[in-house]
């Protein structure tokens, strides 16, 4: 039986940078990925969590389904972001989350332009 590969920020970076126009940056002093200047994922200061953009309704459903994996802090309660524990996620689910967050960042960018 093959053991699942541990997900790290390097995995996040590799998947995220494969998306069109994704670029590296920083946010709150931590490594981040942006699309056209808009944040779509960043490493949380604890080193085991990432912050991803997520529509409120989807965020609530995911947190209710798996609160060990998906959560928020008071800081993010009013913003369309969610925290994800890298130690609890697999690469397929991470890939889906990054695509959702990427699309949310692009649509937010379009609304501002």
- The band of 107, judged by pLDDT with boundaries at 50, 70 and 90, is confident
CA atoms within 13 A on the CB side of 40: 32
Rounded (5°) CA angle 89-76-84: 5
pLDDT, tens digit, for every residue of 41-94?
999 999 999 999 999 999 999 999 999 999 999 999 999 999 999 999 999 999
Q: Give the span between the Cα atoms of 93 and 69, in whole angstroms.
A: 11
CATH assignment of 9-107?
A: 3.90.1150.30
Contact 110, 27 (CB under 8 A): no
Domain residue spans of the chain:
9-107
pLDDT of residue 112: 52
pTM, two decimals, is 0.90
Contact 98, 15 (CB under 8 A): yes
In the block, residue with structure tokens 């940056």? 25
């Amino acid at each position: 039986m093959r053991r699942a590969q541990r997900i790290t920020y390097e995995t996040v970076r590799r998947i995220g940078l494969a998306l069109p126009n994704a670029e590296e940056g920083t946010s709150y002093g931590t490594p981040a990925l942006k699309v056209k200047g808009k944040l779509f994922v960043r490493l949380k200061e604890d080193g085991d969590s990432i912050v991803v953009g997520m529509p409120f309704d989807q965020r609530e459903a995911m947190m209710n389904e798996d609160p060990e994996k998906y959560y928020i802090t008071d800081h993010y309660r009013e913003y369309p972001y969610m925290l994800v524990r890298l130690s609890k996620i697999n690469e397929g689910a991470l890939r889906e989350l990054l695509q959702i967050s990427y699309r949310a960042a692009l649509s937010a960018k379009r609304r501002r332009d």
